[in-house]
Amino acid sequence: MTADPHTTAPPDPSAGDGQSFAETALQLGGKSVDEARRTGAIDKADDQVEALFAPQYQTINSPAHRAVWDRPVPVDLFVSRAPRVPADVRQVMDDSYNVVLRHRLGGTLLNAENKISDTVLNELGAAGYWGLLVGKQYGGSGAQFGAFAPFLTRMAMVDPTTAGLASVHGCIGAVDPVRTFGTEEQKQRFLPDLASGRRLSAFALTEPCAGSDLTALRTRAERRGDEFIVNGEKLFITNVVPGRTIGLVCLIEGRPAVLIVDLPHAENDQFQLKKYGLWALKHTYNRGIVFRDFRVPANNLLTPPKGDGLTIAYHGLNLGRIALCANAAGTMRLMMASMIPWAKFRVTYGQPIAKRELVRRRLGRLAGMVVTCDALVQWCAGLIDQGYRGEMECIIAKIFGSESQKEAAVELLMKTHGGRSFLHGHMLGDNIHEFLAPCIYEGEGEMLGMAFFKSLVKQHGVQYFEPIGKALAAAGIKKPNPLNPAHAWALKGAILPYARWYLAQKVRPRAKPGLPPMPTRLKEHAELAIERLQEMPLTISSTMSKYQLALADRQCRMAALSAQVQNLLTILATSLYASTSADEVIQDSANVACQELLQRVTGRPPGDRYYRDVNRLGEAVADGGFESIAGLEQVGEIMMPYSEKE
């Protein structure tokens, strides 16, 4: 691939004094040394992940970043295409799908503990399921992520847990760390068993005191000869049972590191599982791990070319975030397939509720959410395959997918089924925790929203605001007053570049978007999103200027701005995605979704056009127009029917 001639590598935020931008800002803002150090460690890990990617694929040159700061908006980076799936990869996918479908229909998917059975896991291994993301030279299929991610949507329509396990194993488990950061010897040693499923994997990062704050790690590994001796505890580790392989994040000589650990086939004094009750993830094993003088070969240590264990942890999370959105797209299709027959069956005041506007609106809204998830999955997975880091884009997909699934469950599925939703055996009553938990997986949504905002403003802050902050600190000025001659003199050198940028933004005419041929209604949404995106630099920069270093504590303000940008980018990606489809229901679904997202951005209430569009779409969905749910079998959804023969 060739570099974009209009892009340049971002400056090193840690250049000069050895501190990161976040570290400097927090110290200037009066934060404690410990908080600045911890935040700085995360910031530096992020920089180290960036350095793994070619400059043209780093965050500063990503579609999301450029759509806000560049002129014109790079529309071509938001146009996605479904990849061609090789016949051998397609065969693995079909065989894996059929394994799960056969067991689900036969009632043999789960074991006596109500978890996915070893029989199913082993048959999936024989089909090649666990090796989809492993290279062919190591026994896998070498599938592109653009093919893998939408396949998870298809698998989730049969069983969301099985789809989720593929993400745990291949994206955030041991597969991605080894294939990305392992030596050739480590790849030869670990990947064949991971590809075959002889060793399923997990990623052990979270601890009782370390979740969002990854600098609070306590698990330690001490080098003794040819081994590391591990002591510590991990919590909320999905897919962990004796005999599996984990990527273990721990401290080695005070620095985060990752060890690839083959767990023993039985618990012992050095390795024990900590079992607890957990409402979510009920069909797979989620446990804590306790290590006491546990021995790991020293050659199991992963050594990234730059960075440390946090660098490795950050890398795989992006894949998991796309996978989560793909799973949500499949799970919400299951909700739709559950709602339609009940809406036709349930009669109130002489009419099926499928004829009622409120129910039709629910079906129409759900279709919009599903299509938007499909659009984000195809867009983000395609960027990963092109070589982009995809940090900001994957955050958008994760937040939209998880929040949509939560809303679909509570506002659409539950309210359509009513009180029967809480019956034993009902889709919602039995799975409500599964539907809500993804809001926490791969990073809690609002925390990720602030991480998105940080990535969005980081370069702008380094280039323009950090010099101003340092000049203020050097002059001992805590509250600058531009009318004070002493303050103006102290800032004269630092503020000039920002003044030039600001003036250029005010006088620069808006660039017309180079949109491809699109249906009129979708083109209108894309144009409005682009128009709003071109307003964001001044809005964001003015907010940074207003709050200065105190912005770090204005979490609500950051979250609101982040959400605005995310919504605008989602509109652009969704409208372009649906424009390539000949299916009018897909286009109508995107139209409804874009209208709802624009309502959030503008704060305007829905108008007659929206209600007309969403109800017409809901009617089409109820009549079988959403073709991708055709054939979904819902066993036991219409339970205890209201009839005199009951």
How far apart are alpha carbons 313 and 307 in whole angstroms? Answer: 11
Name the strand (E) or helix (H) holding 220: strand 220-224
pLDDT surpasses 90 at 52: no
DSSP string for 460-485: HIIIIIHHHHHHHHHHT-SS--TTSH
| φ, ψ dihedrals at 257, nearest 5° | -145, 165
303-337 core/surface letters (b: 16 or more CB in 10 A; e: else): ebeebbbbbbbbbbbbbbbbbbbbbbbbbbbbbbb
Check whether the bond before 72 is cis (ω within 30° of 0).
yes
Digit-coded pLDDT (tens) for 462-479: 999 888 888 888 888 877
Backbone angles phi, psi at 527, to 5 degrees: -65, -40
Average pLDDT over residues 232-244: 95
Is 198 or 217 the better-scoring residue by pLDDT?
198
Based on C-alpha coordinates, what's the Rg of the chain? 26
Q: Who's near 211: CB < 8 A, 6+ residues apart?
A: none
Q: What number is the average pLDDT over the span 335-355?
A: 94
pLDDT at 28 over 60: no
Domain with residues 87-196, CATH architecture: Orthogonal Bundle (1.10)
Q: Burial code of 550-563, b = ≥16 C-beta within 10 A, e = fewer? A: ebbeeeeebbebbb
The pLDDT, as a whole number, for residue 305 is: 85
pLDDT band at 63 (very low <50, low <70, confident <90, very high): very high
pLDDT tens-place string over residues 437-446: 999 988 899 9
φ/ψ of 204, rounded to 5, equals: -100, 95
At 1 the pLDDT is 34
Q: How far apart are CA 446 and CA 569, in angstroms?
A: 17
Q: pLDDT category, 636, cuts 50, 70, 90?
A: low
Considering the chain, what is the average pLDDT of its residues?
90
More confident residue, 374 or 25: 374
The reply to whether 87-196 shares the fold of 24-80+310-630 is no
pLDDT at 552: 81
Q: Over range 299-305, report the average pLDDT.
A: 93
One of 3.40.640.10, 2.30.30.90, 3.40.50.300, 1.20.140.10 is the CATH number of 24-80+310-630, namely: 1.20.140.10
| Residues facing residue 273 across a β-bridge | 289
pLDDT score for 12:
35
Give the confidence band of 39 by pLDDT, cuts at 50, 70, 90: low
The pLDDT > 90 percentage for the chain reads 74
Domain boundaries, the chain: 24-80+310-630, 87-196, 201-302
CATH homologous superfamily of 201-302 equals: Butyryl-CoA Dehydrogenase, subunit A, domain 2 (2.40.110.10)
Is residue 376 predicted with pLDDT exceeding 60? Answer: yes
pLDDT surpassing 90 at residue 518: yes
